[in-house]
Amino acid sequence: MSYYPSLPDRAHLSDLFKRFPRGVEPLLAFHDAVLRSDSELSIGERELIAAWVSGLNQCKFCYGAHKLMAHAFDVDPALVDMLFERFDEAPLPARFLKLLRFLEKLALTPSLVRRSDVAGLLKAGWSEEAIHDAALVCGLYAFMNRVVDAAGILPGEEYADPSPEAIERRRSGSYLSWGRDAGIT
């Protein structure tokens, strides 16, 4: 149930953005820059990171949305869940798990991040650019999770059992195009 009286009881992110449009277009453009531009991290990996950070922050809407987005970019949804249930058994390269642990620290206890954390990622083979890109995703979802949770936005039924068509729509569109299609931008 949404917390803002001006929103419908089962408000979606699009309802929130229509009600409070200030900054939405540049925010969606930033989503595209962070999640869709060239990076050493694939789009699927960045969407997985968005789901990971959102899950850590217990933001149900963003967790569901980005688990679905990761799926659209060839990440098994069961893998996303597994990270929260049996992290050490997740079938991911050790260096990617190390990156996720770093992002967990950055998301939950940012004041504890140290030079040695980044040095460990560099030693594991990550470039500064990849680490920065991952930190951008983490920061974006620290922001988005709080905006969504402050409004009481919950996941809709579209995340429970998405159709192949729904998955393809997510794969083929940008965040700005979603905003245009939803009548926001």
* pLDDT tens, position by position, 152-185: 998 877 666 667 777 777 777 788 888 888 888 7
List pLDDT tens digits, range 99-150.
Answer: 999 999 999 999 999 999 999 999 999 999 999 999 999 999 999 999 999 9
Task: Indicate the range of 38-47, 88-97, 167-176 predicted with least confidence.
Answer: 167-176
Q: Going by C-beta distance under 8 Å and a sequence separation of 6 or more, which residues neighbour residue 54?
A: 62, 63, 65, 66, 141, 144, 145
**Residue 132, in any domain of the structure:** yes
11 belongs to a structural domain: no
Instruction: Confirm whether 145 is domain-assigned.
Output: yes
Q: Report which residue type is found at 101.
A: R
Tell me whether residue 4 is in a domain: no
143-152: per-residue pLDDT in tens? Answer: 999 999 999 9
User: Is 18 within the bounds of a domain?
Assistant: no
The answer to whether residue 179 sits within a structural domain is no
Q: SS in 3 state form for 83-148?
A: HHHCHHHCCCCHHHHHHHHHHHHHHHCHHHCCHHHHHHHHHCCCCHHHHHHHHHHHHHHHHHHHHH
CATH number at residue 55: 1.20.1290.10
Q: Which domain holds residue 86?
A: 25-170
Is residue 76 assigned to a domain? yes
pTM for this entry: 0.94
Please list, in sequence order, all residues whose beta carbon lies within 8 angstroms of the beta carbon of residue 110, skipping any fewer than 6 positions away. none
* Residue 32 forms part of a structural domain: yes
Domain count, the chain: 1
